[in-house]
Amino acid sequence: MKILVAGAGGFIGGHLVKDLLAEGHELVCADLKPIEFWFQSFENCKNFSLDLKEYENCLKVSEGVDFIYNMACNMGGMGFIENNKAECMLSVLINTNFLRASLVNSVKRYFFSSSACVYNGSKQKETFVEGLKETDAYPADPEDGYGWEKLFSERMCRHFTEDFGLETRVLRYHNVYGPEGTYDGGREKAPAAICRKIANAKLNNEKIIDVWGDGNQTRSFMYIDDCVKGTNMVFNSKSSEVYNLGSDEQVSINQMIDIIEGIADYKVQRNYQLDKPKGVRGRSSDNSKIYKDFKWSPSIKLYDGLKTTYKWIYDQITSGENTKKFTNSY
């Protein structure tokens, strides 16, 4: 099959491209970033660096493809999405334009990567919360900016299926982490940021790291390999239902720091910064629906995923190589 991966230069997109190539597919890859800043790039793909908020560009890169995976959006960790709401919401143009282009170019199936940020904020006010079910997105009160874009784009997919017969697949990702992604520069998420801070503290014999919030806020984190496997499983299925894709292994930020300290064999003191962006108080994934329909559950425990991630970030920091693509604000 000929497959387009939009957002191929990003973290999840790069891992997805690698997996699809291993399966023998022909790949078209597109991203806003210059190709030298893609986290992973492959010469045996047709690669485009262009603005996917422009309809003509979406039409161009999707011509002749069978399937589209839309992983493209303007996003980052909580520090980015709380301070760039308009930029996050403009990503709705990417999804809208690709849906329109899919009809023109007779695309057979379309995937949209949504987020746990679509969920109603009133269900995320305590530290340790019940896992969020797919129905908990309504009545709508998602994360401002980024969450609204994702929820609206989900509805666009649903209506393009209902009105035009386009096959769509939607997954709500819960805090994906792993190697080959940004770990500095302002867009990194908590696991990568904490791995970097502890690695730098160890290398520089420093004893204190900054922690946003009081460290008691909770999340569940899914390793990238589980994300890619789950994505392809649902994409290749016959179901057009919306599913959570995440871990139900809920931990506080303090607990995650404890784990990474153990991996690094280095203890730090914590400077809690209560004025920094923190997001919701607690969030976890309820996987009962995807388990019922597919018998899917994540296979990689948090400790094992963090061990791999920490080693990769530590090696990046100490390698002396040009790591600009992993620390740039693109």
Could you write out the DSSP letters of every residue in 200-235?
Answer: HHHHTT--EEEEES-S--EEE-EEHHHHHHHHHHHH
In angstroms, the CA 175 to CA 6 distance is 19
**Which residue's entry shows tokens 């390999």?**
225
Q: What is the DSSP letter of 261?
A: H
Closest residue by Cα to residue 32 from 83, 101, 116, 90: 90
Tell me the β-bridge partners of 115: 173
* Secondary structure class of 134 (helix, strand, coil): helix
Cβ–Cβ under 8 Å, residues 285 and 244: yes
Q: How far is CA 195 from the centre of its chain?
A: 18
Question: End-to-end alpha-carbon separation of the chain, Å?
Answer: 30
Q: Bridge-partner residues for 271, per DSSP?
A: 210
Tokens 């939607």, located at residue: 170
Is beta strand 222-223 parallel, antiparallel or unpaired with respect to 176-177?
parallel
Element (H, E) at 100: helix 92-104
d(CA 294, CA 68): 22
> Is 146 annotated as catalytic?
yes
Q: One of 69, 110, 146, 243 is an active-site residue; which one?
A: 146
Residue 81 CB burial class (10 angstroms; 0-12, 13-18, ≥19): buried
Q: How far is CA 277 from CA 188, 212, 274, in A?
A: 13, 7, 8
Name the residue among 2, 155, 13, 159 with its Cα closest to residue 73: 13
* Active-site residue set: 146
